[in-house]
Structure 1
Amino acid sequence: METTNTSNQMSNTTVNPAEYLNLEEKQDIRLTSAELANLWSGFMSSSLKECVAKYLLAQVQDEEISGVLEYALHIARQHGQTISAIYQKEQHPLPRGFTDEDVNINAPRLFTDQFILSYMEFMAEIRINGYATALTMTARTDIRKYFTECLASAAELYNKTASVILAKGLYLRAPQIPIPDRVDFAKKRSFMTGFLGERRPLTSLEISHIFSRAKTNFLRKALFTGFAQVAKSEQVRDYMFRGRDIAIKQIEVLSSLLIKNGLPMPATWDSGVLQSTEAPFSDKLKLHNVRIFNAMEIGNLGKAISVGIRHDVAVTFTRLTAEVAKYSEDGVNILIDNAWLEEPPQAADPDALKRKMH
């Protein structure tokens, strides 16, 4: 059995906000729109993750999982402080983000420890994807240094989480397939055929994407169920139940693809949701958390479509993408209707400039 060390010592990948303010001190290099966007998104997500980690840390029972949460809370706070320092130097207004008003750490336990561990695994995956994208869109030296450190800490969080999952025997492994005995090349265009005629077996790429999307939907189902259970607004409650139903449907679709090809579907835990009806988070935070999940899922489905897969599998992924995209849009509309959607930095409005000139 694999073991893990979840001591409370923090990694040397964490950052000192002051380090980033001196790298280009002698140069007056303005932030680009991409840098502004990623710093803003980073601040918003870090403040959300800090609220969530504080609640989960107050409720978790397992010491090893507690160690993972302590590290997650530490880096969320550190990243928020660093962006605040950069904003102050750039004379940029500080976003509101999420505060203590959005979390009640004294609310009863809503999720099991096993769910918390799986949630942290997925949030670490989101961090890695987000920071990798931000780094490749960034030019300024100090901001690149910051996102490089963020990416390193996100990878460490993922590894800490995965080690605990493995040590507890909870890791959901993708199906195993035979190791090929030779290199082969597709000889017919029927390699892509999936609707008519003889279908080839699923490739390892197809299996990995189908399995991962099914695994994520088990997590989404539990998250939506818990959030619906403690939602204060009927509108938000209905939205969460709808998300749960979409996740259940997508699990069935993805699992059937595996079963039809003689492969096992992902095993899963129990519901992961306890009986509490007292909200640990504001409806605003819950909707934003779901929005982050939706964005990640749309991106992952897009990657799955892009790998050159069997037509029937590609069509399935395309349909699931459209379903999640529509659900995500409806969630954004609820945020707007309730004045919960904080606007990111925007380009100058040319019409407004014209009006000022007249």
Structure 2
Amino acid sequence: MKKAQNLPPLTSAEIANLWISYQNDTMAVCIYKYFLNHVEDRDVRSLIAYTLHIAEEHVADVTNIFKKENLPLPKGFDEKYDANVDASRLFSDTLYLIHITDISKFALSAYGYALAVVSREDIVAYYTKCLEETIKLHNDSIATEVKKGLYIAPPKIPKPEGIDFVKRTDFLAGWFDRRPLLAIEISNLVYNTKRNAVAQAFATGFSQVAQNPEVVKFFEQARELTGKQLENLNGLLNKDYLSATLSVTSEVTTSTVPPFSDKLMMYHATAFTSSGVAQYGVAMSQSPRRDIGVVYAKMVAEIALFAQKGANILIDNGWMEQPPGAADRKRLARE
């Protein structure tokens, strides 16, 4: 890596993505050290160890970049304060594996976006490496799910018999005489049901171990909201006699000993929420049937409103670290 003085200053996009990466990877180190302390399955242990290794490596890389640029390092998360690896087991090995698969999908999107907006040679190289590592993690986690019979494949559809074109405007309708779901609509519905199932399980576990009563209530509400949205998405599939994922809350133990700080669990929830809004937006744009678009729009509104509750809790407790931003020109003009 070239020395920072021989490179142009970091752009806002580069600072923003590196800052977010540091937050996410310091959180991942805390989570996967705890997982590693309890996992029993050899294959899942290998995946957790690899996930932890790349998270620790990313933290070191970003730390090095910030130091060379003389930028203040974000606080992020510290295993001394935000994790208790010796806490009793809260999740099963199955949920560990499902979480890795889900988090790898989130990382693929995040690193792909970062790579698209950065330009400095060393930062491009960094996010290229991150993406390559995440591709391997994702492929290995899917292969492990298949091996263990845990992978739920999307529903099959008939093979197209030829090329066809839309002939009627009711192709876009959805309330009366609705057409069958398109393959892309099925794909998005299945993906989003799986994400809600994971989110519901983690909200269930976090509600049992959170210490702050307001945080407990937040996760109880998150459990109900994700369950409701899971039911809505499954309902759209069921109308075409298709099936998707099932609830995985049974993979949560009855432990009430907190493995993580309330701050970390709240940040984990906000990361899931922001990712969910983005994915719903993608699904909405790819669903021509109007009734499906309305369902997604309603769910985006629900989780956006819920995310505001989470942000208020983070702010009220002094847990929300302010990201880097533009200069406040109005304030500077008054000084």
Partner Cα distance (1:264, 1:31) in 2: 47
Which string of whole-angstrom CA distances, capped at 9 and with x for unpartnered residues, describes residues 55-95 of structure 1?
A: 00001111110000100000001011011111011000111
Q: CA deviation at 1:34?
A: 0.7
Which string of whole-angstrom CA distances, capped at 9 and with x for unpartnered residues, describes residues 122-164 of structure 1?
A: 1111111111001101011111111110111111111111111
* Amino acid of the structure 2 residue aligned with 1:294: T
Written as runs of structure 1 = structure 2, the 5 A alignment for 1:8-27 is 20-22=1-3, 26-27=6-7
Q: Could you tell me which residue of structure 1 aligns to residue 96 of structure 2?
A: 116
Partner Cα distance (1:341, 1:112) in 2: 30
Asked if the contact 1:207/1:258 (under 8 Å) is kept, the reply is yes
Partner Cα distance (2:258, 2:266) in 1: 13
* Amino acid of the structure 2 residue aligned with 1:64: D
TM-score scaled to structure 1, two decimals? 0.91
Partner Cα distance (1:21, 1:328) in 2: 40
Partner Cα distance (2:207, 2:32) in 1: 20
Partner Cα distance (1:25, 1:167) in 2: 49
Question: Which of 315, 318, 321 is residue 342 of structure 1 equivalent to?
Answer: 321
SS at match of 2:250: coil
Q: CA deviation at 1:352?
A: 2.4
Partner Cα distance (2:39, 2:274) in 1: 27
Partner Cα distance (1:288, 1:353) in 2: 32
Structure 1 unaligned runs (5+)?
1-19
Cα 1:266–1:26, aligned 2, differ >3 Å: closer, same or farther? closer
Q: CA deviation at 1:265?
A: 3.6
1:139 pairs with 2:119: yes
Asked if the contact 2:207/2:219 (under 8 Å) is kept, the reply is yes
Partner Cα distance (1:134, 1:211) in 2: 26
1:203 pairs with 2:165: no
SS at match of 1:222: helix
TM-score scaled to structure 2, two decimals? 0.97
Question: Which of 78, 81, 96 is residue 60 of structure 2 equivalent to?
Answer: 81
Partner Cα distance (2:237, 2:265) in 1: 32
Question: Which of 134, 153, 175 is residue 154 of structure 1 equivalent to?
Answer: 134
* Amino acid of the structure 2 residue aligned with 1:351: K
Larger proportion of helix: 2
Asked if the contact 2:108/2:135 (under 8 Å) is kept, the reply is yes
Q: CA deviation at 1:340?
A: 0.1
Between the aligned residues of both structures, percent identity stands at 37
Partner Cα distance (1:94, 1:163) in 2: 36
1:276 pairs with 2:255: yes
Q: CA deviation at 1:268?
A: 4.5
Question: Which of 36, 42, 64 is residue 43 of structure 2 equivalent to?
Answer: 64
Asked if the contact 2:13/2:118 (under 8 Å) is kept, the reply is yes
